[in-house]
Structure formats: structure tokens, C-alpha cells
Amino acid sequence: MVSRAEKSAFSEWWWTVDRLLLLAFLVLIGGGVVMSFAASPGAAAREGLPVYHFIERHLFYVIPAVIVLIATSLLSPRDARRVCLLLLVISVLALFLTQFIGVENKGSRRWLRFAGFSIQPSEFVKPPFIVVCAWLLGEGLKRPDMPGNLFAFGLLAVVVTLLVRQPDVGQTMLVVAVWSLMFFIASMPWLWMVLLGSAGAGGLVAAYLFIGHVQKRVNSFWFDGESGLQVIKAKESIIRGGWFGVGPGEGTIKRSIPDSHTDFIFAVIGEEYGIIVCLLLVVFIAAIVMRGFWHAFRQNDPFPRLAVAGLTALYGVQSMINIAVNLNMMPTKGMTLPFISFGGSSLIAVAFSSGILLALSRQRASALNFHTQRPTMTAAMPAPAGAQ
């Protein structure tokens, strides 16, 4: 047990970080490992790979993800901002490079390959983009002479353009939604909000008209009532699982879902563990989101308030999209379930995002008092009358 009297960086971190949130993130990482054993063997078999291929790779990424989560939670707000700015520059450059040397898959160029590893830059660009935009919007609130809002708009335009070029409409929608929430929290004029909403609606219409696979998915969802074979099988999996599931490892429909280990892992949970566990997972995610927003609105400084709210919304909205797709409540988006789905880029990027959230929500006022020696009773008591 770490003593409050211990004067060390680790002790200060331990007594100022939100340990409940930290535990929640670690539990989700552990849950992802468990579900990897359930969902990955079938996916490996379909691709002609060794049965434990995806499980081994998932375990390989878990250790660096935990290290990233802990390490980033130790950062000060200034260091967190600096690290995010550096990562943002690297991620934007990587997004740009995907247009030329990216690996094409299903009509999109979203991956870069280096030394046998695949990296998805769109996963890594989201957390630093949110933090840097939060700083720009926050500085605009504190210093009217600084065009922070204009810079934030410009940064949004750059990231959205690069994502649309891949194309990755799902990530684009996620980024715009979270950015808009931060813009709203920053108390920007309603006219700007209306213009932003109109631009977003126009972008969705343009995506439908000019991006073939988007039009196909939307038409399939609206006119056929389904978003493809995977969604049909996902619904069958959840229905077969019933309230209590068929048991760990006993799922069969999951074997016919190509992306059962990534985008449709929620359906695997439903089949093997049942609707009760699915509901508990949703409640668990909702509790994380509520606690994140609770931290955000306790902040006095605009930067951490906007950043924590944005990172919390990023986690919540991405989780909501993944679950909604599995339940056929919206067209497929190719979005992972944070911490649970297989994917090295997703796992490490979400760990980074969660670590920054923990870092910016730490109670540093308590940390200041932590090392301050309390005045003695003698010093605190007034001297007796007539004392020399």
C-alpha cells in the first residue's frame, strides 16, 4: 500500500489519479483478452492462419497498451499537451502518406505497413486532435486576441479532408461529432453551431452521393432493413444467446461472421454470455462516460475541461456506434469496440486516449496540499495575552 506520507512521483500520482476509472480501463482490457479467445479462432481459421494467431497478437499488444495507459496518466497538463501536439503532427503526416503508400482493403487506404506491422493512422490521430483542439478553443476563451477558434476550424478541416480521402466516413463522423460537442461546451455562438450542423449534414449527403460503398450500405439499411450478411448473423448470434448465453466457447454463429473479432465482437458476447452480460457491459461503459463528464465539469480551466469532455465523448460515441451497428440500429461503420475488439492500433490508441483523460482529470490541487506540511498546534494558536 502506498503511504500518503511518501514523497515520490508515484505516490503523488496514486493519490491524485481516479483509481476507479483506472481500474475500469484495466478491467476492459482484461475483458478484451477473454473475448479474444472466444472470437479470434474462427476468424483465424477463415483466413487460413494458425488457430491462435489473433489471440497471440492481441496479447502482444496488451502489454504496451497497459504501459501507455499508465505512462500517459503520469503526465502533467503541459506535458500531455506537448506529447499530443507531437503525435498529432506524426499522425497527420501518416494519414497523408496513406494516400500514396497505404495498403488498400475493401476500396479504402487506411493502413501503413512497417517491418511486418500494420498501423492505422486514423486511430492515432483522434486523441491528440481532440486535446490540441481543446487547447485552441480554451485559449480562445481566455484570450480573445488569439484566433483559437479559427485554428481549431482549420485543424478540423485538415483532418476531415485526409479521412475522407481514404475514404473513412465512420471515423470522419466520429471526429466531427466530438469536435462539435467541444465547440458547444466552449459556449460558441449559436449561429456557428447552425452553420456547423448544416455543413455536417451537407457532408453526409455528399458522402452518400459520391462514395459508392457508403451509398450501398445506406440503401441496404434503409430499404432492405439490413446492413449486410455480418449484421444479419450478428442479430442471429444475439437472439441465439438469449438472456444467459450458450456458454463460453459454445458459440457457432460467430464462425460465419468475418469480423467477429473486431467490429462484431459485441455479437459474440451476446451469443456466448447472453443479453444480461451485454446490458452490464453497456451500463459499465455508460458509468465510465458519466464519470468522465463529471471530471470534465469540475475543471475550472477551459483546456482540461474541454479535453476531458472530448476524450470521454470519443470513447462513448465510438462504443455507441459499434453496439448500434451490431444491433442493426445504423449502417455498418467499421468501428471497433474500445478495449474489447482485436486490433493493435485501436488498443494502443484507446489506451493513450484513456491515459491522457486520467492525466488531465487528476486532482492536482490535492497534490499541492499533499506535500505541504500542516502547521503545528503551537504555531496555529494565538499567543497568550501578555506573552513576550
- How many CA atoms lie less than 13 Å away from 15 in the CB half-sphere? 18
* pLDDT value, residue 37: 87
In 3D space, the residue among 247, 237, 316, 238 whose CA is nearest the CA of residue 284 turns out to be 316
Averaged pLDDT of the chain? 84
Task: Parse the chain into domains and list their residue ranges.
Answer: 19-365
* pLDDT value, residue 124: 95
pLDDT digits (tens, 9 = 90+) for 248-304: 888 888 888 888 888 899 999 999 999 999 999 999 999 999 999 999 999 989 999
Residue 341 C-alpha from the chain's centroid: 12
User: Terminus-to-terminus CA distance in the chain, angstroms?
Assistant: 46
* pLDDT value, residue 368: 41
* pLDDT value, residue 266: 93
Q: Which residues contact 194 (CB under 8 A, 6 or more apart)?
A: none
Spans in the chain with pLDDT lower than 70: 1-6, 106-107, 208-215, 217-228, 364-388
What are the beta bridge partners of residue 103? 111
Judge whether 129 and 122 are in contact, CB under 8 Å: no
Q: Which residues contact 60 (CB under 8 A, 6 or more apart)?
A: 344
Measured CA angle at 214 (ends 208, 216), to 5 deg? 100
Which DSSP string corresponds to 190-258?
Answer: HHHHHHHHHHHHHHHHHHHHH-HHHHHHHHHHHHHS---HHHHHHHHHHHHHTTT-S-TT---GGGG-T
